[in-house]
Structure 1
Amino acid sequence: MAKHEDTREHLLAVGESILRGKGFSAVGLAEILKAAEVPKGSFYHYFPSKEHFGCALLERYFVNYQRHMQSLETQYDCGSERLMHYWGTWLMSQGACSPANQCMVVKLSAEVADLSEPMRQVFKQGTNEVIERLAKWLDEPRCDGALSPNMDAQSVALMLYQMWLGASLLTKIRQDGSALETAMQTTCYLLGVKYI
């Protein structure tokens, strides 16, 4: 990797770890630069503004998120198994209430949607792509029982994603995993999978 790409990636990785814990508005560039050990001039070489940095960080997050989803496609042939692994991972990571595992959509979307139109657009595109992929998994041959024939995969994918985002927010508020457990029970019921 070229030095240019290496430094840019380093800034984004350090920035993501800080923003997961504190949010976007509460973190200044000085804190990111100090943690990354990168001079201010170098930051502006890669990003014209903090908003541009935020957009790049979110784009990077969604690329990595899609890579994770794609890896599930190679691990699991069956759509319902893939979906249950996806939601199970969500349950474990978000139920831990750890900033290091914090979903960036849960952590930042409400905050930045009102502050930055470009960042809101990145969130919109990224979440739409996640929902599309979930719908694709749901719409795979019905023989594995993921959905009954009269259910629309796109609508169910949207409903499930919304439910899990909401459950993740309640988990942050309550500091317990009860909302995520309910989301898992509801997901199992909708997909016709036994809840363990």
Structure 2
Amino acid sequence: MAKKKHEDTREHLLAVGESVLRGKGFTAVGLAEILATAEVPKGSFYHYFPSKEHFGCAVLERYFSLYQLQMQALEAEYDCGSERLMHYWQGWLMSQGACHSANQCMVVKLSAEVADLSEPMREVFKQGTSDVIDRLASWLDEPRCDGALSPDMDAQSIALMLYQMWLGASLLTKIRQDSSALDTAMQTTCHLLGVK
């Protein structure tokens, strides 16, 4: 029973932490705010995490794990590689186009902020984004994305290019407060994948 409570409290702290960090960023939020929002005493926090940086890494690891589960769900739902990819990008368009912090991609929200401040957090971002790109590449390559990619196109390079484009479009969406950059990313993606 104690182990279950331990896991629940840790998970609760991570979920609340992600929500708070999505809204305010990493450096602007103190532990006191996270603990007050989570209604968890300070001593309990240090039972689970030795520092705010370790907590930040755990939040990001949880985020990427849940992200991979969402990608697995798309694999289970759509057999066709190109159909799966288009649902993935459509989901991105809908969630990031809203400009609400609750939906905000953690990579867009935090990566530039913490990359120079925390080497461990930068490494979590690096591994997490690499895993996403690898999965996208596998979708593009199965079997050659249902003929959408020509044989001379490298799936890994195309996956990296698409992911970079969508991250950049998400940043511009935050700056402009409209979804025009994401709409352009979708048009470019459709053109590249031969989707009408």
Q: TM-score range by the shorter chain?
A: over 0.9
Identity of aligned residues (%): 86
Q: Could you state the TM-score of these two structures normalised by the residue count of structure 2?
A: 0.98
SS, match of residue 26 in structure 1: coil
Residue aligned with 1:101, SS:
coil
Q: Tell me the residue number matched to 1:106.
A: 108
Residue matched to 1:33:
35
AA at the equivalent of 1:94: Q
Q: Which residue of 2 aligns with 1:80?
A: 82
> 2: distance between equivalents of 1:86 and 1:21?
24
Deviation per CA, 1:68-124, whole angstroms, max 9, x where unpaired? 000000000000000000000000000000110000000000000000000000000
Aligned to 1:93: 95
- Structure 2 gaps of 5+ residues are none
1:148 positional shift: 1.4
In 1, the alpha carbon distance for the partners of 2:35 and 2:101 equals 20
1:48 and 1:188 mapped to 2: Cα distance?
46
Determine if the alignment matches structure 1 residue 60 to structure 2 residue 62: yes
**Partner residue of 2:161?**
159
Equivalent residue number for residue 139 of structure 1: 141
> Number of residue pairs matched?
194
How far is 1:149 from its partner?
A: 1.2
Describe the shift of the 1:30–1:111 C-alpha distance in structure 2 as closer, same or farther (beyond 3 A): same
Name the structure 1 match of 2:123.
121
Change (3 A) 1:25 1:143: closer
Cα distance per residue 1:10-55 (max 9 Å; x no partner): 0000010010010000000000000101000000000000000000
- CA distance in structure 1 between the partners assigned to 2:27 and 2:145 by the alignment: 48
Alignment check: 8 A CA contact 2:140 2:155 kept? yes
Which residue of structure 1 lines up, in the alignment, with residue 20 of structure 2?
Answer: 18
Offset at 1:143? Answer: 6.8
- How far, CA to CA, are the matches of 1:146 and 1:59 in structure 2? 33
- Tell me if the contact between 1:171 and 1:180 (Cα under 8 Å) persists in the aligned partners: yes
Q: Which moved more, 1:27-36 or 1:142-151?
A: 142-151
TM-score normalised per structure 1: 0.98
Poorly superposed stretches of 4+, deviation over 2 Å: none
